Structure 1
Amino acid sequence: MSERPFWESKPLEAMSDSEWESLCDGCGRCCLHRLEEEESGEVYTTNVACRLLDTHSCQCSRYPERKQLVPDCIQLRAGDVQAYDWLPSTCAYRTLAEGRPLADWHPLVSGRAESVHEAGISVRGAVISEEFVHPDDFEEHIVNWVGD
């Protein structure tokens, strides 16, 4: 009889820091700029990435110091996960908070970090750094991602 994996047996709030961090699938989508329409409150995702996102690995290049370098970077926490409806439906934090299982391509399930890229879920090869786009032009970069 095998023990169930931690993500199936523990609520998000009970996970250790390392378990919580391992839920990140490495898609990079949380590092994309979003635009909110003032009147409707609708949120649009762009293909413009934070300057700290390594667009190949889809990981933050300065993760430990990201809050100091990018003050409006959102730190995902288990206690706030219900407010993360802006995350794609493919995101493990949102998936588990909504009571759904992790997808087969999730690295914790597949055992391979590349599976998120192979499944076409990550932003690899599909984004541009904010360093190359004027903020007034972000609207021209609105895209629809799988799971949005």
Structure 2
Amino acid sequence: MTDDPIDRTGLAPRFWETKPLSRMTRKEWEALCDGCGKCCLNKLEDEDSGEVALTRVACRLFDDTTCRCAQYETRHRYVPECITLTVKNIEKNLYWLPETCAYKLLWNGQPLYDWHPLISGTAQSVHDAGVSMQYRTLSEADMSEDDWEDHVIEEPT
């Protein structure tokens, strides 16, 4: 991906190190997304243990070339259950967020990785680091939910 759909221009340098998540503007919040695409993967949760397994089966709106939602602004029209992550609901959603997720890292007081676009200056860095799901997914539109467990993967980190 050469073009970054997230506008990171005009943001204060390293704002995430001095500004709490609860005080970020929408633009700052959106800029935290590294574009890995792992949050768009379907997960399987064990009802007994609560353990969450990641699959390579992506939401039908996920574009694995760009690692972005093809209908981000209107996604709820097509996928009503898609979660809009906010500072108000992040704590209850931490369990399924990727380990490399900037929102999760910052919530837990950890720094962003060097490959994060806010640090590297390029959206391509997440793909070059091998952390993204670029070209690694199957669409949920092409398979039955019963087959998802055949596609459980380890998170690329």
Amino acid at match of 2:77: Q
Provide the rounded CA distance (Å) in 2 between the counterparts of 1:146 and 1:62.
24
* Match status 1:46 vs 2:55: yes
Name which of 68, 74, 77 aligns with 1:65. Answer: 74
Amino acid at match of 1:130: E
Name which of 28, 32, 36 aligns with 2:41. Answer: 32
**How far 1:85 sits from its partner (Å)?**
2.4
**How far 1:4 sits from its partner (Å)?**
5.3
Provide the rounded CA distance (Å) in 2 between the counterparts of 1:85 and 1:131.
25
Provide the rounded CA distance (Å) in 1 between the counterparts of 2:13 and 2:68.
28
The match for 2:4 is: none
Superposition misfits of 4+ residues, deviation over 2 angstroms? none
Aligned residues: 145
Amino acid at match of 2:137: V
In structure 1, the gaps of 5 or more residues are none
Whether contact under 8 Å (2:44, 2:53) holds in the other structure is: yes
What is the root-mean-square deviation of aligned Cα atoms in Å? 1.2
The match for 2:3 is: none
Whether contact under 8 Å (1:27, 1:122) holds in the other structure is: yes
| 1:44-76 residue CA offsets vs partner (Å, 9 max, x unmatched) | 110000010111100000001111210110111
**How far 1:81 sits from its partner (Å)?**
1.9
What TM-score comes out, normalization by structure 1 length? 0.94
In structure 2, the gaps of 5 or more residues are 1-11
**How far 1:93 sits from its partner (Å)?**
0.3
